[in-house]
Amino acid sequence: MITLTIGGVHKGGVGKTTAAVTIGHGLALLGYKTIIVDLDSQGHVAYYLGMTRKPALYRLLKDGAPVKDCVTMARAPNLAIIPSDQSTAQVEKDLLGMRFRELRLKRALEPLDGFGPDFVILDTAPGVGPLHDAAMAASDYVLAIVEATTASLDGLALLTHTIAEFQTMGHPLGLLGVVPTMIDDRTIASKNAVDALEAAEDDLAPVYPGIHRATVFQRSVAEGKTIWEEDPDTKTRPAREYSAVIRKLLEDLNA
């Protein structure tokens, strides 16, 4: 079982949940049993998949419910989620007063290893907080999602510093790479941001294939579908780009 945090950079609106859901469903379509864990009180993972928001994360971390009872199967084969809702905000507050709070999620998810998933994907909320730290502690790897803007290097530098802190504490957390999102070829700023990320590869992180802006993402969310359901034949640019991201991910993990 590989546990992977998708996101990590402390900024919202960069396409993080889209990436988590798209990569998760893409892995499931390739035959990998995948569970997506929603750590954001907005509950967007369920919403993006056309499912119902539930307080499953609250039950897992606050009530101590068995993790298998918190998993909901998606309509796609090999794909399941641990959904979230507004109650997750209370979990975040309660974690502040708990001892060993960084390890709570890791311990809660450990029984999944015998449950059979190949991948557990953690979709974190934007910003810094106990659940973000808990996701880092529970993960084997991070795949950073950054918007192609001039500020992307700052966010990525902060993430690499955070990962280094976990490594110093003995947790072998790895940064697989960074996926630039919302690329707009019409703007010089977007191109310059991608160029800057690529120039900093040796110092920060390998750059994965980028994802361009596309209306198919908004349409998919509105319909409660992923791009693989919108475009099962992978004819659109976003589907091809995310296919390339998943191929590189599997190559890097030797999966």
Q: Which two tokens stand for residue 193?
A: 């941001």
Considering only CA atoms, which of 211, 238, 210 is closest in space to residue 225? 238
Mean pLDDT score across all residues of the chain: 90
Rounded Cα gap, residues 24 and 3, in angstroms: 12
Residues in the chain: 255
Identify whether the C-beta of residue 155 lies closer than 8 Å to the C-beta of residue 38: no
Q: Which residue has the higher pLDDT, 2 or 146?
A: 2
Amino acid identity of residue 223, one-letter, is E
* Per-residue pLDDT, 155: 79
Q: Please, are residues 143 and 22 in contact by the beta-carbon 8 Å criterion?
A: no
Helix or strand (DSSP H, E) at 154: helix 152-168
C-alpha 131/C-alpha 78 separation (Å) is 26
What is the model's pLDDT at position 142?
96
Quote the CA–CA distance of 19 and 153 in Å, as a whole number.
19
CB count in 10 Å sphere of residue 64: 9
Q: What is the pLDDT of residues 3-40, one digit of tens each?
A: 999 986 666 667 899 999 999 999 999 999 999 999 99
Check residue 34 and give its pLDDT: 98
Q: Domain ranges in the chain?
A: 2-253
What span, in angstroms and rounded, lies between the C-alpha atoms of 74 and 95?
A: 28
Summarised one tens digit per residue, pLDDT across range 47-102 is 999 999 999 999 999 999 999 999 999 999 999 999 999 999 998 888 887 777 88
Measure the CA–CA gap between 122 and 10, rounded to whole angstroms: 14
Q: Which of the listed CATH numbers 3.30.70.870, 3.20.20.70, 2.60.120.10, 3.40.50.300 matches domain 2-253?
A: 3.40.50.300
Helix (H, G, I), strand (E, B), or coil: what is residue 73? strand
